[in-house]
Amino acid sequence: DADVTQTPRNRITKTGKRIMLECSQTKGHDRMYWYRQDPGLGLRLIYYSFDVKDINKGEISDGYSVSRQAQAKFSLSLESAIPNQTALYFCATSDPGVPGNEQFFGPGTRLTVL
């Protein structure tokens, strides 16, 4: 079984709709991250969390919110989706005890906002 799972894998929605993307991990890592990937722009950090009570904004948090429901679960919400939020979204985890902040990624969610 995969260590980091994301649901759904693909989603098409309309402008103005509320969308939630979910991430679960079985790695036992405290740290979790949400990234967005656009063609030619690499990975950009949206939000990250170091434990259940910790939430931090990344470089592109506007228009997004997150919830860390448990150590193993970290969800990303788009309160009112807009077309320029069409992208690939990745969840990642890391163990703070490992030097260099090596991160492990889920398979991604492809989101299309019409």
Partner 1 sequence: GQQLNQSPQSMFIQEGEDVSMNCTSSSIFNTWLWYKQDPGEGPVLLIALYKAGELTSNGRLTAQFGITRKDSFLNISASIPSDVGIYFCAGPTGTASKLTFGTGTRLQVTL
Q: Which residues bind partner 1 (CB under 8 A)?
A: 4, 31, 33, 40-43, 45, 48, 50, 56, 58-59, 90, 92, 99-108
The set of residues, in sequence order, having a beta carbon less than 8 Å from that of 73 and lying 6+ positions away, is 22, 23, 24, 25
User: In terms of CB distance, is 2 or 14 closer to partner 1?
Assistant: 2
Q: Minimum CB separation from partner 1 for residue 101, in Å?
A: 4
Q: Minimum CB separation from partner 1 for residue 110, in Å?
A: 8
The span from the CA of 113 to the CA of 103, in Å, is 28
Beta-bridge partners for 46: none
- How do beta strands 10-13 and 109-113 pair? parallel
User: In terms of CB distance, is 40 or 70 closer to partner 1?
Assistant: 40
CA distances from 17 to 23, 28, 82, 83 (A): 20, 33, 8, 11
DSSP 98: S
Q: Minimum CB separation from partner 1 for residue 60, in Å?
A: 12
User: In terms of CB distance, is 62 or 99 closer to partner 1?
Assistant: 99
User: In terms of CB distance, is 39 or 84 closer to partner 1?
Assistant: 39
Q: Minimum CB separation from partner 1 for residue 108, in Å?
A: 5
